[in-house]
């Protein structure tokens, strides 16, 4: 899958897991996400950074981080991360309890 296809697949899966209310990034949501899908808050932050980079909307402190920029500009590394992230989101059928 391409980067765009992976991003779209992740959004589709997130819609199922988080419902209409979505993911707010609250501590209890991160705890639940880790317990049910094995996704860490660091992985979720990286996911958001990938999206921001794609929209050319990174904060200046992120643009100044050489290691981060090297990762974000490496298509193979980003696609590998997105594949792993999607696999984790597909690893269970649990829906966040509202």
Q: pLDDT tens for residues 58-85? A: 999 999 999 999 999 999 999 999 999 9
Q: Is the overall model pTM greater than 0.85, yes or no? A: yes
Helix (H) or strand (E) segment spanning residue 24? none
Dump pLDDT digits (tens) for 9-65. 999 999 999 999 999 999 999 999 999 999 999 999 999 999 999 999 999 999 999
* Residue 64 DSSP code: T
Confidence bin at 6 (pLDDT 50/70/90): very high
- 83: nearest Cα among 2, 20, 22: 2
Q: Say if residues 89 and 83 touch (Cβ distance below 8 Å).
A: no
pLDDT of residue 13: 98
SS3 50: helix
Task: Give 46's contacts (C-beta < 8 A, 6+ positions apart).
Answer: 81
Q: What gap in Å lies between CA 36 and CA 28, rounded to an integer?
A: 12
pLDDT of res. 25: 93
């Amino acid at each position: 899958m391409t980067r765009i296809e992976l991003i779209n697949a992740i959004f589709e899966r997130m819609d199922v897991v988080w419902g209409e209310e979505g993911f707010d990034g609250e501590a209890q949501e991160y705890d639940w996400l880790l317990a049910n899908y094995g996704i860490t808050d660091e992985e979720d932050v990286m996911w958001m950074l990938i999206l921001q980079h794609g929209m050319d909307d990174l904060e200046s402190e992120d643009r100044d981080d050489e290691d981060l920029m090297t990762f974000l500009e490496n298509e193979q590394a980003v696609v590998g991360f997105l594949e792993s992230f999607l696999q984790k989101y597909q690893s269970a059928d649990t829906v966040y309890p509202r």
